[in-house]
Amino acid sequence: MEKRITLICGHYGSGKTNVAINLAFAAKKQYDKVVIADLDIVNPYFRTKDSMEDLKQAGIALICSEYAGTNVDIPAMPQQMYAVTDDRSWHAILDVGGDDRGALALGRLAPAILEENNFEMLMVINGYRPLTKDAESTIEVMREIEYAGGIPFTGLINNSNLGTETTAEVVLDSLVYAEEVSRLSGLPIYLTTAEETVYNALRGKIDHLFPLKLQSKIN
Amino acid sequence: MAEKVLMKGNEAIAEAAIKAGCLHYFGYPITPQTEIAAYMAKRMPKIGGVFLQAESEIAAINMVYGVASTGHRVMTSSSSPGVSLKGEGLSYLAGSDLPALIVNVQRGGPGLGGIQPSQSDYFQATRGGGHGDYHMIVLAPASVQEMADLTVKGFELADQYRMTSMILADGTMGQMMEPVSLEFDIKPQPAKPWATTGTNMEREHNIINSLSLVPEELEQLNFARYDRYKVIEENETMYEEYKMEDAEICIAAFGIAARVSKNAINEARKKGIKVGLIRPITLWPFPKAPFEKAAKTVKQFISVELSMGQMIEDVKLATACQAPVTLCNRVGGMIPSPDMVLAAIEEAAKNGGAN
């Protein structure tokens, strides 16, 4: 992660939050000051805040609405969000809400991010999700997000998985899809993720393979 | 790529409905079921269907009434407070013998409550929901696959018996993601000679109405409806039994509570406690038979619910109180943990339930 800001966007349910948290842990190995910012204004569940304790222990700062994960179901962002662009001493991972509706919140930060021009804008894709099951539909969602968020994508994260039924083969089978999205969009596959249980079986077989630890929500 | 896809429970309902031939969706957004509307908004325009976000839940249910009158498959979805608003429409659908699918992805209540999962609309769903003597077929999925399968089943039953089917899920079922197969064996839709499709000057007018001017006729309509309910009770009851063969303690649970209970049962079995589960899949008609049978051998029933104890009344009725029925519950959006259910099982075992 060479760029100062890494933006994580995608179709809802594509695994953005999980990927963002894993990237934050990876960034922390590289940099001293790492912050993860939750820009989701759409989904009140499955938030970065669910991993608050783990993040705190790792020394990763969290910027997140105090309403996330509560019964207060309103689109809200804390004022600290501006620190992401104002204070350039931090490496920031931005967990953006799903689809174009989620990316709308990005609009407020987009001018500063574009001006600084030190970012990766990554689209998380999962070919096993029905509304992004092929390259064409995935790119349609991608264009909607770009239009709403005002920042062009720079790469893809292939997070194709079948939840609890993910096997090494499931990940391998998704490569054709991911490469097709890459070819049609002209964007490189920045990472392909593999859950810990299948990571070893895939090592050496996929470029830029990234081990993924599932963040569980404790109720 | 594999034939399965990864879906949220809410999305699975929406896609299954489309596959079942439902091309009309009317709704109003509310957490935790909004993904159904969002999915329909994306998909319907692409397949020549109708997605309409109504100005309110009351408007939406009356649009459902309109389409149902024409004999087309139609649905709406909401969550607890929104379903209360639909109550009047549900009664009118019943009074007009119209088939439709209603989805309730329940959240904590009463009132505005919260957005976390709940099962506290059991009474409302199984006793009708609106005014008057009527029932809905109430289906309780316990996995994303069942969210899809029971949606198809719900449309078929609704058409077959000319009444409303309700999917009674909870926030967890709506939000959780699981691999799901969307291959269904969709039966051809039955003919609907009663529908208002235009007479072509070849037949009498069909009239869809829930107003009866003559009390004697209204009474006969009610009798006929309840004769039909009897057929449904005999033929359409669905349930799952889990490790009931030798069970001395029986858990009654549906939806997410049944999944938690299975984990607890597996732990209790390791400790030598003979405990099993009866999971109603149709909440109405309630599966009385397996409970009647279990009551002959089971020493204690435990109803595990995300409510203050609603299904427990049906368990007591079905077992005719031949064995004690206790409640293990959390409310307000909280879910009983496997440990909590295990403790309830161990308590029952200590009281002579098993060993």
Burial B110-121 (b: 16+ CB within 10 A, else e): eeebbbbbbbbb
Pairing of strands B74-78, B24-27: parallel
For residue B129, what pLDDT is reported? 83
Q: Degrees (nearest 5) of the Cα angle B219, B95, B312?
A: 90
Query: Could you give the number of structural domains in chain A?
Result: 1
Of the candidates A13, A73, A129, the beta carbon closest to that of B31 is on A73
CA distance A85 to chain B (A): 32
| Neighboring chain A residues of B32 at a CB cutoff of 8 Å | 45
Separation of CA B351 from chain center: 34
Is CATH 3.40.50.20 the classification given to domain B5-185+212-235?
Answer: no
Q: Are A104 and A145 in contact (CB under 8 A)?
A: no
**Rg of the Cα atoms in chain B:** 21
Nearest CA in chain A to B180: A162
Angstrom distance (rounded) from CA B293 to CA A128: 43
The predicted pLDDT at position B304 comes to 98
Q: Do A73 and B334 touch (CB under 8 A)?
A: no
Residue A216's pLDDT is 65
- B5 beta partners: B180
CA–CA distance, B58 with B172 (Å, rounded to integer): 25
Q: Is residue A219 in some structural domain?
A: no
The answer to whether A162 contacts B333, with C-beta atoms less than 8 Å apart, is: no
Between the two ends of chain B, the Cα-to-Cα distance in Å is: 49
**Contact assignment for A128 to B42 by CB distance below 8 Å:** no
pLDDT of residue B128: 76
Residue segments in chain A with a per-residue pLDDT below the cut of 50: 218-219
User: Same fold for the domain at B5-185+212-235 and the one at B239-353?
Assistant: yes
Task: Spell out the per-residue pLDDT of chain B, length 355, in tens.
Answer: 448 999 999 999 999 999 999 999 999 999 999 999 999 999 999 999 999 999 999 999 999 999 999 999 999 999 999 999 999 999 999 999 999 999 999 999 999 999 999 999 999 999 978 999 999 999 999 999 999 999 999 999 999 999 999 999 999 999 999 999 999 999 999 999 999 999 999 999 999 999 999 999 999 999 999 999 999 999 999 999 999 999 999 999 999 999 999 999 999 999 999 999 999 999 999 999 999 999 999 999 999 999 999 999 999 999 999 999 999 999 999 999 999 999 999 999 998 754 4
Non-local CB neighbours of B318 within 8 Å, separated by 6+ positions: B286, B287, B288, B291, B292, B295
User: What per-residue confidence (pLDDT) applies to A42?
Assistant: 85
- Interstrand relation of B275-280 and B239-242 (parallel, antiparallel or unpaired): antiparallel
Integer-rounded Cα radius of gyration of chain A: 16
> Looking at residue A215, what is its pLDDT?
82
Mean pLDDT score of chain B: 96
Domain ranges of chain B: 5-185+212-235, 239-353
Residue A47 belongs to a domain: yes
Q: How far is residue B196's CA from residue B66's CA, in Å, rounded to a whole number?
A: 10
ipTM: 0.92
Whether residue B110 is preceded by a cis peptide bond, meaning omega within 30 degrees of 0, is yes
For position A41, which CATH number holds?
A: 3.40.50.300
Residue B180 β-bridge partners: B5
3-state secondary structure of B134: coil
DSSP label at residue B58: H
String of DSSP letters for A84-129: HHH-TTSEEEEEPPSHHHHHGGGGGTHHHHHHHT-EEEEEEE-TTS
Q: What are phi and psi of B350, to 5 degrees?
A: -65, -35
Residue A65 in contact with residue A78, Cβ under 8 Å?
A: yes
The reply to whether residue B31 touches residue A44, judged by beta carbons under 8 angstroms, is: yes
Beta-carbon contacts of residue B272 (< 8 Å; ≥ 6 apart): B355
Architecture of the domain whose range is B239-353: 3-Layer(aba) Sandwich (3.40)
* A12/B contact by beta carbon, under 8 A: yes
Domain range for A199: 5-212
